[in-house]
Amino acid sequence: MQKKHIITITGSLGSGKSSTAKRVAELLKYKHASTGNFMRSMAEKRGLTLNDLNKIGETDSSIDIEIDDYSREIGRSENVVMDSRLGFHFIPESFKVFLKLDPIIAANRILEDAKVNPNRHKESREGFNTVESIVESISIRLESETKRYKELYNINNYMMPENFDLVVDTSKTPLEQVSEQIITKYQEWLAN
């Protein structure tokens, strides 16, 4: 398989996928793409929360088809860093990164982000007011995505380490260090 100048980053909810992808893209002078942002835009156009859109996606495959088409389109380009739950699946010739994070730490990060990021409040009707509500929202979203990915793509668990070229625990590693680690491993991957 020919390697592409594309990095796909997925991970646990709240693990820093978007921030990391943006920073890596900036450092490499690559374009940044995000299926999360694409989905938020889809939900907003329909007057829905992200959780509502995911729930509809369980019975309406057009939701996933639209997201998949977006991912495939990104896969036809080069010099891109994409944060995407299934980027590794749709762009197998990319350098595939998984960011892992404990759900409680993730919930605390999301709660802090919700104070400054208005998009966070569009993810759940209940809002992001407590760590408990965020953990519940994460669980609902993960359950919905896992069900859909199994039915549509026969992916049992998209978070399996063997799907990725690099797995990074972001619980104690700052953004800059995570970004530098990804770039170093990406450059090694390209050279081999």
Q: What mean pLDDT is reported for the chain? A: 88
Mean pLDDT calculated for residue range 124-131: 61
pTM, two decimals, is: 0.84
* pLDDT exceeds cutoff 90 at 145: no
- Percent of the chain residues past pLDDT 90, beyond the cut: 56
Mean pLDDT calculated for residue range 15-41: 95
Under CATH, which number does the domain 6-191 receive? 3.40.50.300
* pLDDT exceeds cutoff 60 at 126: no
Mean pLDDT calculated for residue range 59-84: 93
pLDDT of residue 118: 60
Closest CA to 19 of 143, 140, 110: 110
Domain ranges of the chain: 6-191
Q: Please report how the helices 131-153 and 50-57 are oriented relative to each other, as an axis angle in degrees rounded to 10.
A: 30
